[in-house]
Amino acid sequence: MTYITGLASTFYESPGEIFHSRLSTNRRETDGEHAFSLSMVALTIAERMDLSLNRGLIAEYALIHDLVEAHAGDVSARASDEELLLKVDREKEACVYIKARYATIAPWIPTLIERYEARSDDEAKFVYAVDKCMGALTWLSGDGMKWQQNYPEKDGSQYHNVVRRLRKKASIYPDLLEYFDSLHELLDNRRPDYLKRAEGVDA
């Protein structure tokens, strides 16, 4: 049973920072909360769209999809191209670490991560695309809390740059683009109201 305790101990480590969205409770979503939310949303969309996808595999991918970032460290969606390139290098190192760390005690983890990172099947592509919708969903559910501190430009230039970057990634599963566009159309319509709110400096 020692392998179970060894496995559990690794899940309480926090080697990297994950830049998930701010919740309505004015704190950032944890990696566990994000994985759970992504799984629930992805499974619901797959059902509503009547997609011929393996639901169990969707849940598994959602569970592990950010494990590499948890070890490599994340960057904000507003990060520069240089920061994004550095992130790619760190993630390659993290994949090597994860493979060595879990190869004996839980080989399913590096195996599944490799499949997800390679987008080797439709389920991986679908979860990856749904993940690009989660930020908009969280902004909407939190009614734009702290929007000013993240996207202060009245013309929405930075926000629109982020949307274009995310949409390009979400296009790996084209059937989801209509859903992605609808979310960001709604968010963009609400953006002026979010900007009117005078809030304190984001912690």
* Residue, of 54 and 110, whose pLDDT is higher: 54
Residue 172 has pLDDT above 70, yes or no: yes
In this prediction the pTM is 0.81
pLDDT per residue as tens digits for the range 31-54: 788 889 999 999 999 999 999 999
Domains of the chain: 27-121 (1.10.3210.10), 132-198 (no CATH)
Distance CA 64, CA 111 (A): 11
Angle (CA) 116-174-19 rounded to 5° is 50
**Neighbour count for residue 81 (Cβ, 10 Å):** 8
Residue at token pair 């566009």: 181
Beta carbons of 111 and 12 less than 8 angstroms apart: no
Taking the alpha carbons of 160, 164, 166, 171 in that order, is the dihedral positive or negative?
positive
Alpha helix (H) residue ranges in the chain:
2-10, 31-48, 55-64, 67-72, 81-102, 108-117, 122-131, 134-141, 147-150, 157-170, 177-195
Distance CA 146, CA 139 (A): 9
